[in-house]
A and B are shown apart, each in its own frame.
Chain A
């Protein structure tokens, strides 16, 4: 089932077109014209939680590909891989978000995202679906949350009663966190 849906999203991503869902057909196709402010998110599962990223930030979704280990980098960097001639760092999202690690099965996918014109890969356990969340269903990151993890969260969305955590890519992919510091300059004679 996962395979089919992925293909559908691939098609969606390529065309950038809006496809009507069943609900929309029920409410009449016109609804789409009215709700132009609906934003599309790709929902995916990391560990037991559901996360989302705006569809515009995702370039493509691929199956896991071989990566090369990069020494002296943070454990969450799985390695670098080659996607159509481009060298792409692949981040294991569950480690980055500090979730309990869990194995990957056939539904594991890599989301190729772009941040400041540079590609990154995000390894997730499963890609769920493309959801449309109206702005009024989005809430700010709860003020009570604090710490590094909270920085990764841009907003919380509700979709059919389920919580979707919208990630803040700029924080998740902060270049300063990739390199292990204890092996760099500080090793010189004191």
Chain B
């Protein structure tokens, strides 16, 4: 199978993400000094499944790396290696490399450097060989237990003893029909008191329809406490220890063990041990435990299209019903039809919502990636950064989430590189040594707001203005009259970078203007608030979904267009006489602010059909805004609001400037959807060339 197939990449990326998440968790745990072995196992499993996947798809490099990382994790699991900062660094490097290996690569691009990292990983494994000689005798456990413990279980057992925990043998008896539920419940309960080290089939089965297990538990609690908490009719607790009598298990049972249903999937150690027991476990784990299916987004789009068309049919039915009612309003059939149509429309809405929900994914997916970026940057720049995340569960359309990861990465980089001051500067100004970056997501009405905030130095608008002047983005006259808000907006201009020299982190001068463009592409807006000495906050406002949008339907010179409602700030009616001009540019005063106007018919060169004459004294102004600009679009008529399904335009015309797509409005009428971001851009450029005569630009 092809290692470039989307199936492989998708699944592999998921495994890498999972691995990375566990790694971040482990890093936090290693700082507090209390590493959860379950977490380590989970990380091991993620890499193990990645290895399997790579083998299946013949992805040699990913396979080699995951094999090597798996080995390291195994050593960590078995306590042959300590989870030191150095080890974590190498593992995080591995995550980066996995991502690089999975990323699409152009023909002439350098392949990621696998060898160096492999050497590093192997180096880890070798240098710490045989740390211990800790082999205190476990003879007292008795041959019957010792002989069945896996290497990992034995390690955990020793680890528990080392921590001064007591060992208990919990004998439990389960009804054969409810054994999985029973084990799960008992396991959950025992986890509160200590660590479950292993399950052993017990010798003293009492009857055919019951299965008895011995569970070895390591706990800080005393024998009395453990037995009070756990003992009941089917559970008995015995103390294990050098002084205690050997448990009554008999070795005879191990031979017959495979016949017992004990190796259930819950016995995690067997599931992941790459030894002989694996073949046995494989039979159990062939059936996937996951209840999810992967769906190609295009298929969902197809369904969405169909639903949209059903909506049109429903609208037609309504119209048909109305005309029927004109003939005979009292007929039962007519009333029945009305009820049915209404019912259908409700169900359609539910169906539409259902499909939209399928496309929704939590934004936490990219927050995890950003976490890694922060980690890497804080190391590179030697700034200690605390990343605070909230609202990771906020859901957004999958497409939006994908498109957001790059802009957010740029913004976080900017925060850390430009925003957060060096540690000594921070301490001098009375701040904590560690910089703080907040990443927040929350829903606000039918939009999602994502905020990136740092507690760094903030931005001084005068400095921004002066820099803009030096970079030739504005001229002296403009600088003279520039407001703080306009100065802040300079950071979104192409070619603006507040650092003197470019470095590898940010500051190639492509940062914020790219961010702005990408956000605008998603019909989003970006706002910036900053306070000198206190920090900067960027807020991105996005629609929850893109596939179906609410649109304002307008008419200009006899042509109908849709404007995405989420880009419309307001629409007003105005007298033609209210329109003034500044240097030939039409403007209107709206609540004391001057708003530049754009004539849609002129922008698009629309010719009115004969006999079309709208009221010459009245115009409608649709105030549209994207990113930080506001422009008034002049149209002849507002026809109303409507939910529309966006359909892509074909290759030939999808790049028409100012047109974002098409949709259908009843009666098979195809209507174009305006690309508001593009129109605002054009308007702003037209405005600046009109007001400043154009000769000051570059």
Contacts and interface: CB of A to CB of B under 8 A. Distances in A.
Interface of A: 65-73, 77, 80-82, 85-89, 116, 118-120, 173, 175, 178-179, 183-185, 187-190
**Contact-residue size bin, chain B (C-beta under 8 Å from the other chain):** 35 or more
Contact of A71 (B650, B659, B664): B659
A87 B662 contact: yes
A189 B688 contact: yes
Nearest to B604: A71
Contact of A118 (B605, B651, B672): B651
Contacts, number: 96
Contact of A175 (B648, B651, B672): B651
A71 B686 contact: no
Contacts of B662: 68, 80, 87
Contacts of A120: 650, 652
B388 interface: no
Ordered nearest first, which 7 A-B pairs have the shortest CB separation? A189-B697, A71-B604, A68-B670, A178-B652, A175-B652, A118-B650, A184-B657
B670 A72 contact: no
Nearest to B661: A87
Given A68-B670, A71-B656, A187-B682, A88 B606 contact: no
B298 to A, nearest CB: 12
Nearest to B685: A188
A189 B685 CA distance: 7
A187 B651 CA distance: 23
A176 to B, nearest CB: 9
Given A85-B309, A87-B647, A120-B652, A188 B697 contact: yes
25 contacts: A65-B668, A66-B669, A68-B662, A70-B653, A70-B659, A71-B559, A72-B605, A77-B653, A80-B653, A82-B664, A82-B668, A85-B306, A85-B309, A86-B647, A88-B650, A116-B651, A118-B650, A118-B652, A178-B656, A179-B655, A179-B656, A187-B686, A189-B688, A189-B698, A190-B698
A119 B650 contact: yes
Contacts of A65: 668
Given A68-B669, A68-B670, A89-B650, A73 B656 contact: yes
Nearest to A71: B604
A89 B652 CA distance: 8
A190 B559 CA distance: 32
B671 interface: yes
A67 B662 CA distance: 12
Nearest to B658: A72
Contacts of A73: 653, 656
Given A77-B653, A81-B670, A190 B659 contact: no
A153 B177 CA distance: 76
Central interface residue in A69, A80, A120, A184, by most chain B CB within 10 Å: A80
Given A70-B659, A72-B604, 13 more contacts: A69-B606, A70-B672, A71-B559, A85-B309, A87-B670, A89-B649, A175-B655, A179-B653, A179-B655, A188-B685, A189-B694, A189-B697, A190-B697
Given A82-B670, A188-B685, A189-B688, A87 B650 contact: yes
A84 to B, nearest CB: 9
